[in-house]
Structure 1
Amino acid sequence: MVKPVQSATSRSGAHLRRSVGFYGLMFVSLGSIIGSGWLLGALKAAKVAGPASLLSWILTAVIMATLALIHAELGAAYPVAGGTARFPALVYGVLGGFAGGWVAWLQAVALAPVEVEASVEYLDNITWVKENLNLLSPSGTLTASGFGWSTLLMAIFTLINLVGVKLLSESNSATVIWKTAVPVLTIVVLLSLRFHPGNFSAGGGFAPAGAHGVFAALPVGVVFALQGFEQAVQVGGEARNPQKDISRAIITAMVIGTIVYLLLEIAFIGGLDPAAIAKNWDNPITQGSFGPYATLATLAGAGWLSYVLYADAFVSPAGTGLLYLGTSSRLSYAMGREKVLPKRLGKLSVRGVPVWSILLSFVIGEIAFLPFPSWGKLVEVITSATALMYAFAPLALTALRKRDPDRHRPYKAPAAKVLAPAGFVAANLVIYWTGFDTLWKIMIAIVAGFALFVVARATTKAEDRRAIDWKAAMWILPWLGGMVLISWLGRYGDGGNINALPEWIDLLVVIAFSLVIFYWAVSLAVSSEKVQEAIDRETEELVVQPS
Structure 2
Amino acid sequence: MSLGSWAVGAVAILLLALVYAELGPMIPRSGSIVHISHLGNGPLLGRIWSWILFFSYVSIAPVEVTAVLTYANNYLPGFLAGEAGVLSDRGFVAAILLLGVFVLLNFLVIRWVLLLNSAATWWKLIIPAATIFVLLSFSWHPENLQLHHSQGDLEGMFTAVASAGIIFSFFGFRQAIDLAGESRNPGRSIPIAVIGSVLIGTMLYEGLQFAFLMAVNPADLAHGGWSHLAFTGLTGPFAALAAAVGAAWWGVILYVDALVSPAGTAFIYTTSSARITMATGEMGSAPRWLARINGSGVPWIALLAVYAVGALFFFPFPSWQKLVGYISSVTVLSYSLGPIVLLQLRRAMPDAVRPFRLRGAEMLAPAAFVVANWIIFWAGLDTLSFTFVALTILMVVFLVYHYFLAKEGRAQSLGWRYAWWVLPYFAGLWICSYLGPQNLGGRGLLPFFWDMAILAVFSLVILLVALRTTVADQVMRDYVEGLNAVPETAP
> Which of 445, 459, 481 pairs up with 1:514?
459
Q: State yes or no: 1:230 paired with 2:174.
A: yes
Structure 1: runs of 5 or more not aligned: 1-51
Aligned-pair distance for 1:273?
A: 3.6
Change (3 A) 1:186 1:72: same
- Residue matched to 2:35: 86
Q: Which digits, 9 at most, give the CA deviation of each residue in 1:163-203, with x for residues without a partner?
A: 2432221001112222211111111111111232222218x
Secondary structure of residue in 2 paired with 1:81: coil
- Residue matched to 1:327: 272
Q: Which digits, 9 at most, give the CA deviation of each residue in 1:486-531, with x for residues without a partner?
A: 0011126553x11111242111101100110011111111001221
- Residue matched to 1:318: 263
Identity of paired residues, percent? 36
> Which of 417, 432, 436 pairs up with 1:486?
432
- Residue matched to 1:5: none
Once residues 259 and 61 of structure 1 are traced to their aligned partners in structure 2, the CA distance between those partners, rounded to angstroms, is 9
- Residue matched to 2:94: 149
Once residues 223 and 165 of structure 1 are traced to their aligned partners in structure 2, the CA distance between those partners, rounded to angstroms, is 29
- Residue matched to 2:243: 298
User: Counterparts in 2 of 1:60-459, with a 5 A limit?
Assistant: 60-126=9-75, 129-130=76-77, 134-139=78-83, 140-201=85-146, 205=148, 209-219=152-162, 220-278=164-222, 279-288=224-233, 290-372=235-317, 374-454=319-399, 457=402
Q: Which digits, 9 at most, give the CA deviation of each residue in 1:302-327, with x for residues without a partner?
A: 11111101111111111111111121
Change (3 A) 1:465 1:405: farther
Once residues 101 and 340 of structure 1 are traced to their aligned partners in structure 2, the CA distance between those partners, rounded to angstroms, is 7
Change (3 A) 1:492 1:241: farther
Contact 1:395 1:518 in 2 (8 A): yes
What letter is aligned with 1:210? D
Change (3 A) 1:459 1:184: farther
TM-score normalised according to structure 1 size = 0.84
Aligned-pair distance for 1:536?
A: 4.3
> Which of 525, 530, 533 pairs up with 2:475?
530
Aligned-pair distance for 1:263?
A: 0.4
Once residues 482 and 472 of structure 1 are traced to their aligned partners in structure 2, the CA distance between those partners, rounded to angstroms, is 18
What's the Cα RMSD here? 2.1
Aligned-pair distance for 1:160?
A: 1.5
Q: Which digits, 9 at most, give the CA deviation of each residue in 1:335-379, with x for residues without a partner?
A: 111112112112222322221111111111111110427522311
Contact 1:333 1:357 in 2 (8 A): yes
Once residues 175 and 208 of structure 1 are traced to their aligned partners in structure 2, the CA distance between those partners, rounded to angstroms, is 40
Q: State yes or no: 1:58 paired with 2:3.
A: no
Aligned-pair distance for 1:484?
A: 0.3
Q: Which digits, 9 at most, give the CA deviation of each residue in 1:440-492, with x for residues without a partner?
A: 00111212332453466468797875422111101111101100000011126
Contact 1:196 1:270 in 2 (8 A): yes
Once residues 219 and 402 of structure 2 are traced to their aligned partners in structure 1, the CA distance between those partners, rounded to angstroms, is 62
Aligned-pair distance for 1:541?
A: 4.7
Moved more, 342-351 or 82-91: 342-351
Change (3 A) 1:288 1:403: farther
Once residues 272 and 40 of structure 2 are traced to their aligned partners in structure 1, the CA distance between those partners, rounded to angstroms, is 22
- Residue matched to 1:11: none
Once residues 151 and 335 of structure 2 are traced to their aligned partners in structure 1, the CA distance between those partners, rounded to angstroms, is 31
Once residues 103 and 228 of structure 1 are traced to their aligned partners in structure 2, the CA distance between those partners, rounded to angstroms, is 18
Moved more, 208-217 or 270-279: 270-279
Q: Which digits, 9 at most, give the CA deviation of each residue in 1:187-225, with x for residues without a partner?
A: 1111111232222218xx376833111112111211111
> Which of 431, 439, 450 pairs up with 1:505?
450
Q: Which digits, 9 at most, give the CA deviation of each residue in 1:391-449, with x for residues without a partner?
A: 01101111111112232111111210011000000100001111111110011121233
Contact 2:141 2:214 in 1 (8 A): yes
Contact 2:379 2:440 in 1 (8 A): no
User: Counterparts in 2 of 1:24-43, with a 5 A limit?
Assistant: none
Change (3 A) 1:541 1:157: farther
Contact 1:395 1:420 in 2 (8 A): yes
TM-score normalised according to structure 2 size = 0.93
Once residues 115 and 448 of structure 2 are traced to their aligned partners in structure 1, the CA distance between those partners, rounded to angstroms, is 48
Change (3 A) 1:385 1:57: same
Contact 1:341 1:456 in 2 (8 A): no
Change (3 A) 1:494 1:200: same
Contact 1:94 1:466 in 2 (8 A): no
Secondary structure of residue in 1 paired with 2:419: coil
Contact 1:237 1:541 in 2 (8 A): no
